[in-house]
C-alpha cells in the first residue's frame, strides 16, 4: 500500500513554521523558570543545583532534566552570555526568546521520531488510522498551547513516553521500553503516575513466564533491575554521594500546596468544589454547618488553598488512596491479559486516575491521558466515543492558561481547527466495533461537544460584555466544571469499554 | 486527478447564453492518474481528494490561513518604536484618528506633514468606520493629536484584527469565488483548485506586507479580484463597480486600469458590437465614481453650512488650488459648489503626488536599476517623466491591444499581470510594496489550466519568491527577518520550489530544452538570492557604498521581474493564439 499523506514529517515542518511565527507570543513564568535553570546549571557546581534559591523558581525537576538544561546552557552561553547569569532575573532578550523557543521546537523532534516509530509498528490495515492518530498528537493544541506559547518541554518528554510505549509493543524490546520509562521518570517525575501500569505490565510479560505466573524469569528480572538501578544511579547517584537526597526530594515533592491548583483543573475536585459552592446557598435550609472562614475568603477557587464551606475537607491521604484504588482496578485486568492494547489502556486509565483524584493537579496534566489514549483511540468506534469528549474537554480546559488578548484567536481557532479536522478524520477512520455500543454514551458525547461552542463564546466574549471585570471566577468555574464533566464522563465511558473488550 | 469526473454540483441557474465563442473550448488533457502528491501542499490536501466535500475543506483552509496571518501579526510592524515619524502603521492609525474626530471637509487638509491623508475616499471611509469602532473600545487609541505614535499593545491587536477582518470580508471571498470560476472555466477539478486557493492565500509577500509590515492592500486587491471574477461571470457592470471601489480604496489599482478598460471594451466591440453594454458599463462607472465621492461632497456642503472650513487656519479666505489652478478662472470661489471642487482638487492632489521623485527609496524596477549605472539625478525631471511615460506605455500597450482584440477569460490574469509588471518596472513613483500588484494576478494563474503543474507553478513561484526577496530590505529595517524567513520558506516548501525542491520545471509538458532552460535561468536567480542573503548577513559593505547590498538586491530584482514580464507576455500571446501554444504542438506529435 502506498504511503498515506500528509506524512508526519511534512506536518511537523509546517507546524514548525507556525511555531516559529509564535516566537513573540505570550510566555508564562515557566519561560523564566527554564531560563533560571539554564543559569543555575551553567554557573554553579552540581552540589549547589538543588540548593540555589536566588530566584523563586528553584530547580524542582529530577536530575536528568537538570543535565538536559546543563547541555542546553552550553549552547545558550554562545547565543547570549547574559542569559545564563543567575542574577539576571526575568531576562528575556530577543536572543533568549529565540534560543529557548527554538530549543523547544528542536527537542520536539523526539516526539516526531517516536510517533513515526508508532506508525511503523502498526500493522498495515491499521496504518492509516495510526498515522491520523500520530498527526493528531504532533499537531495537538495542547502541546502548542503549553509548549510553544506558555513554554515547557513536554514535546520531548512525551516523545520519550511514546517511544517507550511503542517499544512495549514488541517482545524483544520490552527491556528497552522499561528502561526508557525509568529514564523518563528521571526527567520529569509526573510520569510516575503511569508507573503502576508499567510495573504490572513488565512484571507479567517480562519478569514472569507467559505460561504460568509462578515461574519467574530470573535473568530478565536481573537485567531490568540492573538497568533501572543504573539509570537511577546515573540520575541521583551524584546527589546521593553528596548526601543531598532529602534536599532533592523536598524540591521534587513540595507538599505544601493546596488541593486545587490556581484554576481548577477539570477533575473530581473541581466538581467537588462546585458542589460546595452550590451548597453554600442551600446549607441554611438543610441545616448544615458552614465553615465561616472559608466563606469569607473572597478569592476562593482562584488562589492555591481551597477551603470548603460545607463539604468535608479533603486530605492528601484521601487523594492518594482514591488514586491508587482507581488505578488498581484496570491493573487487575492488565495482569490477567497483558496485551499491548490493554497495557496502553491501563496507562491511559492510570493517567485518568491521577488526573481525576490527585492532590494539586495542574490542567496541563491532561496530556498524560490524551496522548497515551491517542495511540488506541482509533481501535474501534467504542474507543472513539470515549475519546471524543476527552479531547474536547481536555483542550478547552487549557484555554485559561492563555489569557492575553493577542493569543486568544490562536488558542481558540487552532483548537477548533484541530477538533474539526480530527473529529472528521477519526470518524472516517475508526472501524466499527464488534460489540454493541452504548447508545446513551454516543448521544451524550455529541451533545457534550455541541455545548462547547456556546461555552467558549460565553467565557471568552459574552461574560466580559455582560459583567465586565466582575465575577471573574465565573467563566473559569464554568470552563472547569464543563471540562470536568467531560473528563469524568469519558473516564466512565472508557472504563466500560476497557472492561468489556 | 482525472478531470473527466462529473462536476461536483449543478449550477443553481441555467448558464446564460454567453458570448463564449471567443473563449477557446477547454482542451481536456487526459492526465495520468496521479498516485503520489508531487509537492507537499498536494500531500496536505491529499485526504480531501476523494470524499471530503467542499464545505469541509474550505473552513479548514480559511482557519489555517487565518492562523498564519494572526501569528505573523504578533511580530513588530513598520515604525515600531521608531520616532519621530514612525511608519505605515502610524499612518493608518492616524487616518483613523483624523477621520473619526475631524469634520469631513478637513480630512484631506489636516496637518499634512504628519502622515496627511493621501489615499482615495474609500480608504478614508474605511478608516472612519474603524476609528469609530476603535474609539468605542478605547477612546485613547484615536484621541486627536495626543494618540500620535501610540504603541499601546492592545491597539496593535485591534489594528491587526482590522486587517484580517477586512481581508476576510473582501479579498478572501473574492479569491475563493474567482478560483472556483476560473478553474471551472479551465476544466480544473475542485481538488486541484483548492490547492491553488491555499497557495494564493498563503502568498508570503501579501502576508508580510499587510499583516506584518502593516497595510490594507488586500482590500484593494480583493476588489480587483472581485472585478475580475465578475468579468468571468460576464457581469460587466459589477466588474466596473468593483474596479471603481478598488481605485477608490487605493490609487495603485490604476496599474490594472488599462487591462480592465481593454477587456471591457473588447467585450463590447470585438466579440460583436454591443452598444447597450458599452453604454451601461460607462454609466455604471460614472455613477460609481459619483457614489464614491458623494459622502465627501455632501459632507463638505454640510460643513460649509455649519461654518466649518477645510482649513480653519486661513480664517475663511480661500486658499489657492494646489493643482489645476486654472479652474478658478472659470468658477467663482464664492459659489456654493466651490468647496466641493476645492475638496476634490485637493484629494486628487494628495492622491497623485506628481512632485515626488522617479522612485521611492530603493525599488527593484527599471529606473532604480538603471540609476546604479547612470546617475539619473543629472537629467532634467521633465525628460525623466517623459521617458517613464514612454517606457510604461511601450510595455503595457502590446498586452492590452491583445486583450482588446481577443478578450478571452482565460487570458485575463495574464494580461493583468503583464500590464501591472509594465507599470511596476517602468512607471513614475513606484514603491517596493507595489510588487504585490503584479504578483496578485500572476499568482491567480495557479487556478488556471495546468496551474499547479510544473511550468506555471515554477514561474509563479519564482515571481513570488523573488518578490518577497526584494521586500527583504524593507522588512529587515524593522527586524522582521524571522517572519520573512518562516513564511517565505514555508510557501516555497508547500509548492515544492527552491530551495526545498528543484523539480518543479521538470514536470510534464514542454520539451526538455525549455525545461532545462527554465530550470537553469531560475536556478541562477535562486542561487544569487541565497548568496545575497549570506553576504548581506556576514559582510559589511565598504564604507563608500553603504547601500551596496540593497542596490544589488534591486538590480537582481529588476532583472528577474523583467523576465516575469516577458513570460507573462509570452504566455498571453500563446493563450490568445497569437503564437502557437506548446500543448497543441505536442498534441499533434502524439
CB of B387 within 8 Å of a chain A CB? The answer is no
Computed over every residue of chain A, the mean pLDDT equals 88
Residues 6+ apart with CB under 8 A from A8: A112, A115, A116, A119, A131, A134, A135, A138
pLDDT score recorded for residue B34: 60
A and B: number of Cβ contacts within 8 A: 90
- Crossing angle for the helix pair B436-444 and B217-232, to the nearest 10 degrees: 40
On whether residue A121 sits in a domain, the answer given is yes
pLDDT score recorded for residue B115: 86
Residues B306 and B429: their CA atoms lie apart, in Å, by: 39
Same domain? A48 vs A102: yes
Q: Residue A303 above 60 pLDDT?
A: no
Query: For A163-220, what is each residue's pLDDT tens digit?
Result: 999 999 999 999 999 999 999 999 999 999 999 999 999 999 999 888 877 888 899 9
Q: Report, as an integer, the average pLDDT of B118-134.
A: 95
Contact A396, A482 (CB under 8 A): yes
Residues B196 and B183: their CA atoms lie apart, in Å, by: 9
Contact B392, B423 (CB under 8 A): yes
Same domain? A111 vs A172: yes
Same domain? A231 vs A110: yes
Domain final residue, candidates A219, A252, A285: A252
Q: Which of A3, A483, A482 is nearest to B46 (CA)?
A: A3
Q: Residue A1 above 60 pLDDT?
A: no
Same domain? A109 vs A190: yes
Chain A residues near residue B499 by CB distance under 8 angstroms: none
On whether residue A483 sits in a domain, the answer given is yes
Give how far A22 is from chain B: nearest CA, Å. 6
Q: Report, as an integer, the average pLDDT of A254-281.
A: 76
Contact B228, B246 (CB under 8 A): no
Report the predicted TM-score, pTM, of the whole model to 2 decimal places.
Answer: 0.93
pLDDT confidence of B8, banded at 50, 70, 90?
very low
Same domain? A71 vs A204: yes
Residues 6+ apart with CB under 8 A from A85: A39, A43, A91
Residues A327 and A333: their CA atoms lie apart, in Å, by: 11
Query: For B503-561, what is each residue's pLDDT tens digit?
Result: 888 876 678 888 899 999 999 999 999 999 999 999 988 888 888 899 899 999 999 99
Of A285-299, B38-52, B374-388, B457-471, give the lowest mean pLDDT range.
A285-299
pLDDT score recorded for residue B114: 84
Residues B524 and B516: their CA atoms lie apart, in Å, by: 12
On whether residue A97 sits in a domain, the answer given is yes
Number of domains in chain A: 2
pLDDT score recorded for residue B122: 96
Contact B404, B258 (CB under 8 A): no
Q: Which domain holds residue A238?
A: 23-252
User: Which long-range contacts link A126-134 to residues 24+ away (Cβ below 8 Å)?
Assistant: A126/A378, A127/A1, A127/A4, A128/A4, A128/A429, A129/A378, A129/A429, A129/A430, A129/A431, A130/A378, A131/A4, A131/A7, A131/A8, A132/A378, A132/A422, A132/A425, A132/A426, A132/A429, A133/A374, A133/A375, A133/A377, A133/A378, A134/A8
Same domain? A208 vs A285: no
pLDDT score recorded for residue B31: 47
Contact A223, A379 (CB under 8 A): no
pLDDT score recorded for residue A304: 45
Pick the residue from chain B with its C-alpha nearest to A425: B47
Residues B465 and B6: their CA atoms lie apart, in Å, by: 36
Q: Residue B354 above 80 pLDDT?
A: no
Cα B314 → chain centroid: 39
A1, A5, A136, best to mutate vs chain B, most B CBs in 10 Å: A5
Q: Is there a contact between A417 and B70 if contact means CB atoms under 8 Å apart?
A: no
CB of B165 within 8 Å of a chain A CB? The answer is no
Query: For B235-262, what is each residue's pLDDT tens digit?
Result: 999 999 999 999 999 999 999 999 999 9
Burial class (CB in 10 A: 0-12, 13-18, 19+), A212: exposed
Give how far B251 is from chain A: nearest CA, Å. 32
A16, A17, A148, A453, best to mutate vs chain B, most B CBs in 10 Å: A17
What are the grid coordinates assigned to A207, written together?
Answer: 519478569
pLDDT score recorded for residue B349: 85
Q: Which of A350, A333, A40 is nearest to A195 (CA)?
A: A350
What are the grid coordinates assigned to A486, written together?
Answer: 467531560
User: Which long-range contacts link A433-436 to residues 24+ away (Cβ below 8 Å)?
Assistant: A433/A380, A433/A381, A433/A382, A434/A380, A435/A382, A435/A500, A435/A501
Q: Residue A315 above 90 pLDDT?
A: no
Give how far A20 is from chain B: nearest CA, Å. 7
Give how far B360 is from chain A: nearest CA, Å. 30
pLDDT score recorded for residue B150: 86
Q: Which of B463, B473, B477, B488 is nearest to B549 (CA)?
A: B473
Q: In chain A, which residues touch B (CB < 8 A)?
A: 2-7, 10-11, 13-14, 17-18, 20-25, 98, 405-406, 409-410, 413-414, 416-417, 420-421, 424-425, 428
Same domain? A284 vs A364: yes
Same domain? A460 vs A379: yes
B50, B71, B134, best to mutate vs chain A, most A CBs in 10 Å: B71
Helices (H), B271-411: 275-306, 327-330, 338-351, 366-373, 381-405
Q: Residue B395 above 80 pLDDT?
A: yes
Query: For B315-350, what is each residue's pLDDT tens digit?
Result: 666 677 777 778 777 877 777 788 888 888 888 888
On whether residue A8 sits in a domain, the answer given is no
Q: Report, as an integer, the average pLDDT of B459-473.
A: 95
pLDDT score recorded for residue B177: 96
Of A4, A10, A424, the CB nearest to B56: A424
Q: Which of A257, A271, A274 is nearest to A361 (CA)?
A: A257
Q: Residue A297 above 80 pLDDT?
A: no
Residues A2 and B535: their CA atoms lie apart, in Å, by: 43
Give how far A194 is from chain B: nearest CA, Å. 35
Of A5, A24, A424, the CB nearest to B74: A24
Residues 6+ apart with CB under 8 A from B369: B554, B555, B557, B558, B559
pLDDT score recorded for residue A307: 66
Of all residues in chain B, the percent with pLDDT exceeding 70 is 90
User: Cα angle at A7 between A6 and A12, to 5 degrees?
Assistant: 100
Of all residues in chain A, the percent with pLDDT exceeding 70 is 93
Domain final residue, candidates A190, A219, A252: A252
> Residue B146 carries which DSSP code?
T
Pick the residue from chain A with its C-alpha nearest to B76: A24
Helices (H), A122-153: 127-138, 141-143
Same domain? A230 vs A273: no
pLDDT score recorded for residue B556: 94
Q: Which residue has the cell 519564482?
A: B462
pLDDT score recorded for residue A295: 60
Query: For A63-83, what is each residue's pLDDT tens digit?
Result: 999 999 999 999 999 999 999
Same domain? A242 vs A157: yes
Question: Beta-carbon neighbour count of residue A226 at 10 Å?
Answer: 11
Q: Which of B113, B114, B144 is nearest to B131 (CA)?
A: B144
CB of B65 within 8 Å of a chain A CB? The answer is no
Of B44, B154, B489, the CB nearest to A405: B154
Q: Residue A299 above 70 pLDDT?
A: no
On whether residue A420 sits in a domain, the answer given is yes
Of A21, A425, A428, the CB nearest to B68: A21
pLDDT confidence of B453, banded at 50, 70, 90?
confident
Residues B116 and B101: their CA atoms lie apart, in Å, by: 14
Beta-bridge mates of residue A260: A361
Beta-bridge mates of residue B430: B359
| Whole-number Cα distances in Å, A68 to A249, A252, B374 | 19, 16, 59
Chain B residues near residue A2 by CB distance under 8 angstroms: 35-36
What are the grid coordinates assigned to A9, written together?
Answer: 514529517
pLDDT score recorded for residue B584: 42
SS3 B65: helix
Helices (H), B102-170: 121-137, 153-169
Same domain? A246 vs A286: no
CB of B1 within 8 Å of a chain A CB? The answer is no
Residues A360 and A346: their CA atoms lie apart, in Å, by: 22
Chain A residues near residue B68 by CB distance under 8 angstroms: 18, 21
Cα B513 → chain centroid: 33
Contact A329, A343 (CB under 8 A): no
Beta-bridge mates of residue A216: A208
The alpha carbons of chain B give a radius of gyration, in whole angstroms, of: 24
Give how far A489 is from chain B: nearest CA, Å. 28
Q: Residue B25 above 60 pLDDT?
A: no
Query: For A322-331, what is each residue's pLDDT tens digit?
Result: 999 999 989 9
pLDDT score recorded for residue B26: 53
Would you give the end-to-end CA distance of chain A in angstroms?
29
pLDDT score recorded for residue B2: 38
pLDDT score recorded for residue B193: 92
pLDDT score recorded for residue A63: 95
On whether residue A410 sits in a domain, the answer given is yes
What are the grid coordinates assigned to B444, written together?
Answer: 491567480
pLDDT score recorded for residue A239: 94
Computed over every residue of chain B, the mean pLDDT equals 87
Of A143-157, B352-366, B426-440, give the lowest mean pLDDT range.
B352-366
Same domain? A198 vs A336: no
Domain final residue, candidates A223, A252, A281: A252
pLDDT score recorded for residue A438: 63
pLDDT confidence of B360, banded at 50, 70, 90?
low
Pick the residue from chain B with its C-alpha nearest to A1: B35
pLDDT score recorded for residue B19: 54
pLDDT score recorded for residue A180: 96
- Crossing angle for the helix pair B381-405 and B412-426, to the nearest 10 degrees: 170
On whether residue A18 sits in a domain, the answer given is no
- Crossing angle for the helix pair A29-43 and A63-79, to the nearest 10 degrees: 90
On whether residue A2 sits in a domain, the answer given is no
The answer to whether ipTM exceeds 0.85 is yes
Q: Is there a contact between A25 and B74 if contact means CB atoms under 8 Å apart?
A: yes
Contact A212, A260 (CB under 8 A): no
> Residue A256 carries which DSSP code?
T
pLDDT score recorded for residue B318: 66
Q: Report, as an integer, the average pLDDT of A248-253.
A: 88
pLDDT confidence of B590, banded at 50, 70, 90?
very low
Q: Is there a contact between A406 and B153 if contact means CB atoms under 8 Å apart?
A: yes
pLDDT confidence of B18, banded at 50, 70, 90?
low
Amino acid at each position: 500500500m502506498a504511503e498515506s499523506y500528509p506524512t508526519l514529517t511534512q506536518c511537523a515542518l509546517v507546524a514548525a513554521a507556525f511555531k516559529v511565527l509564535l516566537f513573540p507570543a505570550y510566555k508564562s513564568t515557566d519561560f523564566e523558570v527554564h531560563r533560571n535553570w539554564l543559569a543555575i546549571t551553567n554557573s554553579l557546581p552540581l552540589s549547589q543545583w538543588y540548593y540555589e534559591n536566588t530566584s523563586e523558581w528553584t530547580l524542582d525537576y529530577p536530575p536528568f532534566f537538570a543535565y538536559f538544561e546543563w547541555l542546553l546552557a552550553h549552547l545558550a552561553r554562545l547565543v547570549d552570555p547574559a542569559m545564563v547569569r543567575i542574577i539576571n532575573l526575568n531576562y528575556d532578550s530577543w536572543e533568549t526568546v529565540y534560543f529557548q523557543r527554538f530549543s523547544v521546537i528542536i527537542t520536539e523532534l523526539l516526539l516526531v521520531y517516536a510517533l513515526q516509530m508508532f506508525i511503523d509498528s502498526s500493522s498495515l490495515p491499521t496504518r492509516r488510522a495510526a498515522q491520523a492518530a500520530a498527526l493528531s498528537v504532533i499537531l495537538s493544541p495542547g502541546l502548542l498551547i503549553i509548549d510553544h506559547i506558555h513554554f515547557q518541554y513536554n514535546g520531548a518528554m512525551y516523545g520519550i513516553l511514546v517511544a517507550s510505549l511503542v517499544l512495549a509493543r514488541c517482545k524483544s524490546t520490552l527491556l528497552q521500553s522499561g528502561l526508557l520509562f525509568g529514564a523518563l521518570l528521571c526527567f520529569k517525575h509526573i510520569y510516575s503516575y503511569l508507573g503502576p501500569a508499567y510495573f504490572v505490565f513488565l512484571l507479567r510479560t517480562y519478569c514472569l513466564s507467559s505460561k504460568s505466573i509462578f515461574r519467574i524469569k530470573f535473568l530478565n528480572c536481573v537485567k531490568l533491575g540492573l538497568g533501572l538501578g543504573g539509570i537511577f544511579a546515573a540520575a541521583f547517584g551524584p546527589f546521593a554521594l553528596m548526601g543531598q537526597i532529602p534536599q532533592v526530594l523536598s524540591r521534587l515533592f513540595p507538599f505544601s500546596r493546596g488541593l486545587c491548583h490556581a484554576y481548577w483543573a477539570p477533575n473530581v475536585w473541581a466538581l467537588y468544589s462546585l458542589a460546595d459552592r452550590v451548597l453554600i446557598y442551600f446549607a441554611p435550609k438543610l441545616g448544615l454547618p458552614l465553615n465561616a472562614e472559608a466563606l469569607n475568603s473572597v478569592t476562593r477557587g482562584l488562589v492555591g488553598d481551597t477551603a470548603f464551606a460545607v463539604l468535608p475537607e479533603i486530605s492528601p491521604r484521601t487523594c492518594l488512596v482514591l488514586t491508587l484504588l482507581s488505578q488498581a482496578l484496570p491493573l487487575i485486568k492488565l495482569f490477567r491479559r497483558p496485551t499491548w492494547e490493554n497495557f496502553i489502556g491501563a496507562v491511559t486509565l492510570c493517567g485518568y486516575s491521577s488526573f481525576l483524584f490527585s492532590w494539586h493537579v495542574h490542567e496541563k496534566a491532561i496530556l498524560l491521558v490524551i496522548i497515551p489514549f491517542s495511540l488506541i483511540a482509533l481501535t474501534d468506534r467504542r474507543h472513539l466515543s470515549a475519546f471524543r469528549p476527552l479531547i474536547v474537554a481536555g483542550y478547552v480546559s487549557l484555554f485559561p492558561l492563555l489569557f492575553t488578548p493577542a493569543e486568544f484567536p490562536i488558542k481558540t481557532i487552532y483548537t477548533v481547527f484541530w477538533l474539526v479536522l480530527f473529529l472528521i478524520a477519526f470518524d472516517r477512520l475508526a472501524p466499527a466495533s464488534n460489540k454493541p455500543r452504548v447508545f446513551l454514551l454516543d448521544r451524550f458525547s455529541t451533545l457534550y461537544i455541541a455545548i462547547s461552542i456556546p461555552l467558549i463564546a460565553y467565557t471568552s466574549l459574552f461574560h466580559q460584555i455582560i459583567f465586565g471585570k466582575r465575577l471573574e471566577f465565573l467563566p473559569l468555574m464554568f470552563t472547569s466544571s464543563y471540562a470536568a464533566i467531560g473528563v469524568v464522563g469519558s473516564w466512565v465511558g472508557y472504563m466500560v469499554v476497557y472492561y468489556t473488550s | 486527478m482525472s478531470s473527466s469526473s462529473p462536476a461536483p454540483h449543478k449550477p443553481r441557474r441555467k448558464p446564460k447564453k454567453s458570448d463564449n465563442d471567443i473563449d477557446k473550448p477547454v482542451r481536456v488533457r487526459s492526465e495520468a492518474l496521479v498516485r503520489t502528491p508531487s509537492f507537499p501542499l498536494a500531500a496536505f490536501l491529499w485526504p480531501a481528494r476523494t470524499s471530503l466535500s467542499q464545505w469541509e475543506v474550505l473552513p479548514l483552509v480559511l482557519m489555517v490561513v487565518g492562523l498564519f496571518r494572526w501569528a505573523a501579526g504578533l511580530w513588530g510592524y513598520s515604525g515600531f518604536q521608531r520616532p519621530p515619524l514612525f511608519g505605515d502603521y502610524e499612518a493608518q492609525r492616524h487616518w483613523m484618528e483624523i477621520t473619526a474626530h475631524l469634520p469631513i471637509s478637513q480630512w484631506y487638509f489636516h496637518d499634512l506633514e504628519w502622515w496627511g491623508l493621501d489615499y482615495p475616499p474609500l480608504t478614508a471611509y474605511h478608516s472612519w468606520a474603524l476609528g469609530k469602532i476603535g474609539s468605542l473600545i478605547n477612546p485613547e487609541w484615536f484621541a486627536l493629536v495626543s494618540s500620535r505614535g501610540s504603541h499601546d499593545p492592545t491597539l496593535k491587536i485591534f489594528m491587526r484584527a482590522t486587517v484580517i477582518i477586512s481581508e476576510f470580508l473582501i479579498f478572501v471571498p473574492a479569491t475563493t469565488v474567482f478560483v472556483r470560476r476560473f478553474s471551472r472555466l479551465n476544466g480544473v477539478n475542485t481538488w486541484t483548485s483548492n490547492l491553488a486557493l491555499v497557495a494564493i492565500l498563503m502568498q508570503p509577500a501579501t502576508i508580510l506586507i499587510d499583516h506584518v509590515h502593516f497595510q490594507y492592500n488586500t482590500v484593494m486587491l480583493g476588489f480587483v479580484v472581485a472585478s475580475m471574477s465578475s468579468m468571468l461571470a460576464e457581469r460587466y457592470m459589477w466588474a466596473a463597480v468593483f474596479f471603481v471601489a478598488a481605485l477608490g480604496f487605493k490609487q495603485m489599482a490604476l496599474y490594472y486600469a488599462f487591462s480592465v478598460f481593454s477587456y471591457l471594451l473588447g467585450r463590447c466591440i470585438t466579440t460583436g458590437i454591443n452598444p447597450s453594454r458599452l453604454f451601461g458599463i460607462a454609466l455604471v462607472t460614472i455613477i460609481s465614481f459619483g457614489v464614491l465621492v458623494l459622502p465627501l461632497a455632501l459632507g463638505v456642503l454640510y460643513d460649509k453650512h455649519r461654518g466649518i472650513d477645510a482649513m480653519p487656519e486661513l480664517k475663511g479666505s480661500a486658499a489657492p488650488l494646489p493643482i489645476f489652478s486654472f479652474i478658478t478662472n472659470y468658477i467663482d470661489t464664492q459659489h456654493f459648489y466651490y468647496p466641493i471642487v476645492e475638496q476634490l482638487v485637493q484629494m486628487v492632489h494628495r492622491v497623485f503626488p506628481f512632485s515626488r521623485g522617479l522612485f521611492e527609496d530603493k525599488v527593484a524596477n527599471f529606473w532604480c536599476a538603471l540609476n546604479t549605472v547612470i546617475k539619473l539625478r543629472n537629467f532634467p525631471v521633465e525628460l525623466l517623466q517623459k521617458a517613464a511615460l514612454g517606457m510604461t506605455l511601450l510595455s503595457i500597450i502590446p498586452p492590452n491591444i491583445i486583450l482588446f482584440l481577443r478578450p478571452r477569460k482565460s487570458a485575463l490574469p495574464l494580461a493583468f499581470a503583464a500590464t501591472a509588471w509594465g507599470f511596476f518596472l517602468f512607471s513614475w513613483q513606484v514603491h517596493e510594496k507595489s510588487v504585490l500588484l503584479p504578483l496578485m494576478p500572476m499568482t491567480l494563474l495557479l487556478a488556471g489550466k495546468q496551474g499547479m503543474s510544473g511550468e506555471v507553478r515554477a514561474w509563479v513561484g519564482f515571481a513570488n519568491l523573488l518578490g518577497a526577496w526584494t521586500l527583504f530590505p524593507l522588512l529587515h529595517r524593522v527586524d522582521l527577518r524571522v517572519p520573512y524567513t518562516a513564511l517565505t520558506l514555508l510557501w516555497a516548501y508547500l509548492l515544492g520550489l527552491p530551495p526545498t525542491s528543484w523539480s518543479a520545471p521538470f514536470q510534464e509538458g514542454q520539451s526538455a530544452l525549455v525545461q532545462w532552460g527554465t530550470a537553469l535561468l531560475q536556478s541562477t536567480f535562486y542561487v544569487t538570492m541565497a548568496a545575497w542573503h549570506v553576504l548581506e548577513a556576514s559582510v559589511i559593505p565598504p564604507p563608500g557604498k553603504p547601500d551596496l547590498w540593497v542596490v544589488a538586491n534591486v538590480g537582481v530584482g529588476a532583472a528577474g521581474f523583467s523576465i516575469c514580464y516577458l513570460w507573462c507576455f509570452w504566455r498571453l500571446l500563446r493563450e490568445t493564439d497569437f503564437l502557437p501554444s506548446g500543448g497543441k504542438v505536442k498534441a499533434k506529435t502524439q
